[in-house]
Structure 1
Amino acid sequence: MERINSSLSAWQGNEDLQQRLNQTKQSLLKSPHIAQFLREQDQVTDEMITSGMTKLYEYKKERENCDNCPGLKRCPNLMQGYQPELYVERNHIEISYHACSLKVKEEKQKQEQKLIRSLYIPKDILAASFDQVEADSERMQASKVALQFAMNAKPGEDGMGLYFYGKFGVGKTYLMGAVANELKVRGIETFIIYTPDFFREMRQAIGDGSFQDKLEAVKKAEVLILDDIGAETTSGWTRDDVLGTILQHRMLEKLPTLFTSNYDYDELERHLSYSDKGGTEELKALRIMERIKHQTKSVLIKGENRRGR
């Protein structure tokens, strides 16, 4: 506020103050944002405009910053991440601020991260991009399929996802990180969850009362990536009441789910059939796999272990 007030107060004592104020007033009225406000608030008088010039000047400056947004971290507004709004109260023009869409999204992500600890993914995966994928024949096809998904995904309209499988260290998770970053550019929310940690976390959530909130957040994510499924210790509860519930909701709502695994479909089905109570539960595992197969395209990624380099 001090920067804006100083611009206006600098005119004090100047002989042509009135003329400059009139020029500033006319300049303010030419602002598209202010013009729209005045059209919507037809009770605003010329006197109210004159007395509210400081507020109008502040609003114009801040909205122009928003029009040329440099990103949340470099937001030049007085209240970083907040957008101004004009309103009339008691025959005076007033200004208030509300969080912009970028600020709202950041706060939502912080809450999600706080709620679901297994959303944590290493920094190199968070920075993944298709430009950095090695252009070898073993990963080219998988990269092409992943990019096509990222460019064309329509959560809520098309629930088809991907199932990337292959041996340890061939780059499955990196490709998923590239997908998530491409979707981010398109404004699509993506959860990348390390599955073994997630299942452990959900068991703990029963005790602290956060189970339902965590489950709902994962169920409703626009795009969900379950990383390293099959690496977890199998239990009937996590398979049926957690994974099964999530997949059923996402199938009905046409929300894409993507997977990475060391197992192909058949191997994962055998893994899911083992019960922590002993024995196997083939039918229950088959039900889960039918949902996965119906909603994903299977892609084998070959190659050497790149993590050992």
Structure 2
Amino acid sequence: MEPIRETMKRVVNAPAFSERYSEMRKEVLEHPGVQQFLEEHSAEIDKGIVDRSMGKLYEYIDQSHDCNKCPSLGECINHLKGFEPNLVLERETIGIAYTKCRLKTNADNKRQASSMIHSMYMPKEVMQATLSGFELDDSRMEAFRAVDAFLDEATGPDHLPEKGLFLYGKFGIGKSYLLSAIANELAEMRVKSVLVFVPEFMREMKQAIGDQTLQEKVDYVKKADVLMLDDIGAEAMSSWTRDEVLGTILHYRMAEKLPTFMTSNFSYSELQHHLTYSQRGEKEDLKAARVMERIRALTIPVKMDGRNRRT
């Protein structure tokens, strides 16, 4: 039997193999990334090192760089999906170190951003809202400018404006959408937001008394870095939910100067009227005024108008 070394030598020296190797070597040495690396390390790299490293150099050029051969992260062609090769010099040979690529970095950032938003009963399609998708017209410009001013002042979780916005106007004009778009913008700054659909939240608070989770849920909401209360005033407010749930949450946030956003079909004065009357028809002016005092302290009112975008 022919020794393996002799077999390998014969294969390597075969004309067809030599020709393919020459073509591969030429392709490798003409690659811009390889040329740049060799130029940067010209004082340390000689022909012998290049020859010994030809396998790694070919592995390098055969992959995607800066995602130029990958339509998406899922279609990444690299040996390590989501990581791109970089040439490194190690012990008189050239090797490869893999670093996270642009597509994976963007995907990870989006995943981290989405983890910054906790939604309670908000529709999934609303949670994907973006400011770029917010249709601008004269009736919505004031709201957009107010949001822009808030975001300009916000630089991260440790520097947020004390006051949020009270976005009010008729049904279907994009208040909830804008609320979610703000949350997504803040998430990019690593600011955590809790979005709450108020009518459903209040219903759950009544049930939470029975399963003894009331305090835990109220504490979670009231201590959010940024709290967004959607559709306040749409619920049938009882004295208890107004004073012990909503009032408690707002009082804490006012004391701690935590930014709070709200949307409503009601203006301040209309909401106060709504809060004045309990489900039993009792008129409680003082208690409603107390809740409204906290809402005014926490938010800046901004009216939105325009066509109903749900029809």
TM category, shorter: 0.5 to 0.7
The Cα shift of 1:194 comes to 0.5
- Which protein is bigger by CA-based radius of gyration? 2
User: Aligned partners of 1:254, 1:122: CA distance in 2, in Å?
Assistant: 28
Residues 66 and 252 (structure 1 numbering): CA distance in 2 closer, same or farther, change over 3 Å?
A: farther
Give the TM-score of the pair, scaled to structure 2.
0.63
Tell me the SS of whatever aligns to 1:306.
coil
Query: Aligned match of 2:237 in 221, 234, 237?
Result: 234
Aligned to 1:265: 268
4+ residue stretches of structure 1 with deviation over 3 A? Answer: 64-69, 71-75, 153-158
Counterpart in the other structure of 1:150: 151
Secondary structure of 1:70 counterpart: helix
Written as runs of structure 1 = structure 2, the 5 A alignment for 1:96-111 is: 102=112, 106=115
Distance in 2 (CA, whole Å) between partners of 1:280 and 1:242 is 19
Counterpart of 1:50?
none
Give the deviation of 1:240 after TM superposition: 0.5
Q: Tell me whether 1:296 sits opposite 2:299 in the alignment.
A: yes
Q: Could you tell me which of 162, 171, 176 is aligned with 1:173?
A: 176
Looking at structure 1, the residues matched to 97 and 206 of structure 2 have their Cα atoms a distance apart, in angstroms, of 51
Match of 1:70 among 102, 105, 109: 105
**Which residue of structure 2 aligns with residue 123 of structure 1?**
124
> Cα offset for 1:68?
9.7
How far is the alpha carbon of 1:124 from its aligned partner? Answer: 2.4
Q: CA–CA distance in 2 between the matches of 1:213 and 1:151?
A: 33
User: In structure 2, what is the equivalent of residue 161 of structure 1?
Assistant: 164
AA aligned opposite 1:166:
G
Contact 2:164/2:260 (CA < 8 Å) preserved in 1? yes
CA distance in 1, matches of 2:242, 2:190: 31
Give the partner amino acid of 1:221: A
1:197 to 187, 192, 200: 200
Checking the alignment, whether the CA contact within 8 Å between 1:151 and 1:183 is kept in structure 2 is no
Question: Between the two proteins, what is the percent identity of the paired residues?
Answer: 46
Q: What is the alpha-carbon distance in structure 2 between the residues aligned to residue 146 and residue 303 of structure 1?
A: 17
Farther off after superposition, 258-267 or 157-166: 157-166
Q: Judge conservation of contact 1:146–1:176 (CA < 8 Å) in 2.
A: no
Distance in 1 between residues matched to 2:214 and 2:299, nearest whole Å: 27
Number of aligned residues = 219
Deviation at 1:252, TM superposition (A): 1.1
Instruction: Tell me the distance in 1 between the aligned counterparts of 2:249 and 2:259.
Output: 11
CA root-mean-square deviation: 3.1
The equivalent of 1:275 in structure 2 is 278
Task: Report Cα offsets for 1:29-84 as digits up to 9, x if no partner.
Answer: xxxxxxxxxxxxxxxxxxxxxxxxxxxxxxx979x549996266699xxxxx9xxx
Once the 2 structures are TM-superposed, how far is the Cα of residue 307 of structure 1 from its aligned partner?
0.7
Contact 1:151 1:182 survives alignment (8 Å): no
Query: Could you say what secondary structure the match of 1:121 adopts?
Result: coil
Q: Deviations over 1:91-141 (max 9, x none)?
A: xxxxxxxxxxx49x94x87xx66xxxxx13223211111111112111122
User: Counterparts of 2:97 and 2:194 in 1: how far apart (Å)?
Assistant: 36
1:206-238 alpha-carbon deviations (Å, 9 max, x no partner): 111111111111011011110000000010100
Q: CA 1:303 to 1:205, structure 2 compared with 1: closer, same or farther past 3 Å?
A: same
TM-score between both structures, scaled by the size of structure 1: 0.63
Residues 73 and 262 of structure 1: is their aligned pair in 2 closer, same or farther, counting only changes over 3 Å? Answer: same
